[in-house]
Amino acid sequence: MVHGRWVTMDFQSLHPRDQLAVIMERIYRCGMTTASGGNLSVLDEAGEIWITPAGVDKGDLFAEDIVCVKAGGSTEGRHRPSSELPLHKAVYAARPDVRAVIHAHPCALVAFCLVRGVPDTRILPQAAAVCGSVGYTPYTFPASEQLGQAVAAGFRDGHNTVLLENHGAVTAGQALLQAFHRLETLEFCAQLTIRAHVLGRATVLSDEQIAMSRHTEYLLEEYEPRAQVPGERALRLELCEFVRRAYRQRIMISTEGTLSARLDDGSFLITPYGFDRAYVETGQLVRIDRGRREAGKVPSRAVRLHEAIYASRPEVGCILCAQAPHSTAFSVVADATFDTAAMPESYVMLRELPVVPFGPQYEDVSRVAALITKRTPVLLIRNDGVLATGRSPAEAYDRVEVAEFSARSLIEAAMIGEVAPISRRELARLDQAYPVE
């Protein structure tokens, strides 16, 4: 994958001060730092380091709070620079390609640091490519030169993230957004692995399986749409709103998740490949018409599967493939049972939940499409997540949220006892009251 694709032009054109304030806010909002923890920096063309300040609330940080550290070592700004400045400097010195560094204490990654482990990014198809290699360094005193040198040694060895024993994580990238994507994706892999641990043993993908998701033959031929289809403008807006909402609700992360919806003329719109889900805009959605893609745009790699489902299921108006931490945890444990019949809401909204092995969603799309029926509108795809269909974006979105809530309840139930089943008789009553239409 070309990492640069994830970096939207708009974001890159922001001043480093603004980039840092925006990303600090995202890190805080998605629960990856406390008000006092975490620090990030950008190295600019002039060799100046722009870094978050010491002692300022990370949930309420503005661009004016960012400190500039000049190449000679003097600082400019209304605050002192972060106490971890030596660590940031050491990473820039070790890796000339690095232009941004993030240090934070996200809970799942810290949990790995407490047991001297590193999460396996082969748990999801894109994660290894996003994160790159992950290193680990033994405990050293915080904010010390020694910590900086130990972390820098990890980056010099080619790692793009280094976990700090009993402490937290440092990620780096050629741009701030890339460093953020690495941190968020790795934290997600850690969350998945921890939740999966409650259910059994997490399985990881082989190199061949990961390669399946990146075959170039998924690239369709291009065409120039003559004009917009009636309703296209409104549908583009609606889809973007649902993608951003899915991101806010932690149903998608920046680097994972696909949404599509059908237009009246039989073509459909789908999310693009390689754009941050938090910033998806209407013009970036790709229209797919009879196996061809709108000129100049690259659709999500799930495009063939979406096309096959629309071709075989006329009632389906929208498809959402989502990676949320609890439902995806079920997908990575081979013998875990996602019992949708344990809760009425889950049973009525999801019905049965067929499990698809990893691979056919790329290599045998008609087989996966054939599993979608009115009784099975949602699928669990191994090491991938949930695929929900619906007549509308709202229906598919709701099903994904119900799947995530149900999965969370089942995982939390497994921590405290045995799940009490609903009797067959009561399930039959639900079938009667809420018949499959």
Two structure tokens written together for 76: 């400019």
Number of residues in contact with Zn ion, rule: CB under 5 A? Answer: 1
Q: Which is nearer to Zn ion, 142 or 200 (CB)?
A: 142
Q: Which is nearer to Zn ion, 168 or 377 (CB)?
A: 168
If we measure between CA atoms, which residue out of 394, 357, 406, 355 comes closest to residue 376?
A: 355
Residue 105 C-beta: closest distance to Zn ion, Å: 6
What is the torsional sign of CA 191, 162, 207, 220? Answer: positive
Q: Which amino acid is at 262?
A: R
Two structure tokens written together for 175: 């741009």
If we measure between CA atoms, which residue out of 375, 399, 395 comes closest to residue 387?
A: 399
Binding residues for Zn ion restricted to 168-187, rule: CB under 5 A: 168
Residue 323 C-beta: closest distance to Zn ion, Å: 27
3-state DSSP call for residue 369? Answer: helix
Residue 66 C-beta: closest distance to Zn ion, Å: 18
> Residue written as tokens 């439902």?
327
Two structure tokens written together for 388: 């929900």
H or E element that contains 138: none
Q: Which is nearer to Zn ion, 32 or 202 (CB)?
A: 32
Residue 170 C-beta: closest distance to Zn ion, Å: 9
Question: CA-to-CA distance for 169 and 131, rounded, in angstroms?
Answer: 12
Q: Which is nearer to Zn ion, 40 or 333 (CB)?
A: 40
Residue 29 C-beta: closest distance to Zn ion, Å: 19
> Residue written as tokens 């820039």?
92
If we measure between CA atoms, which residue out of 73, 70, 67, 55 comes closest to residue 20?
A: 67
Cβ-contact 161, 168 below 8 angstroms: no
Residue 163 C-beta: closest distance to Zn ion, Å: 12
Q: Which is nearer to Zn ion, 106 or 132 (CB)?
A: 106
Question: CA-to-CA distance for 18 and 135, rounded, in angstroms?
Answer: 29
Q: Which is nearer to Zn ion, 103 or 301 (CB)?
A: 103
Q: Which is nearer to Zn ion, 150 or 320 (CB)?
A: 150
Residue nearest Zn ion (C-beta atom): 168
Length of the chain: 437
Q: Which is nearer to Zn ion, 168 or 317 (CB)?
A: 168
Question: CA-to-CA distance for 307 and 372, rounded, in angstroms?
Answer: 13
Residue 376 C-beta: closest distance to Zn ion, Å: 46
Residue 187 C-beta: closest distance to Zn ion, Å: 15
End-to-end CA distance of the chain: 42
Q: What string marks each residue from 398 to 417 as x (binds Zn ion by CB under 5 A) or -? A: --------------------
Q: Which is nearer to Zn ion, 86 or 168 (CB)?
A: 168
- Per-residue DSSP letter, 80: P
Question: CA-to-CA distance for 135 and 186, rounded, in angstroms?
Answer: 12
Q: What string marks each residue from 132 to 171 as x (binds Zn ion by CB under 5 A) or -? A: ------------------------------------x---
Cβ-contact 21, 94 below 8 angstroms: no
> Residue written as tokens 């990654």?
109
Q: Which is nearer to Zn ion, 81 or 168 (CB)?
A: 168
List CB contacts of 422: < 8 A, sequence separation 6 or more: 341, 342, 343, 344, 347
Residue 162 C-beta: closest distance to Zn ion, Å: 12
Q: Which is nearer to Zn ion, 104 or 369 (CB)?
A: 104
What is the phi-psi region of residue 282: left when phi exceeds 0, alpha when psi lies from -120 to 50, beta otherwise? alpha
Q: What share of the chain is helix, strand, coil (3-state, %, to 5)?
A: 45, 15, 40
Residues that bind Zn ion (CB under 5 A): 168
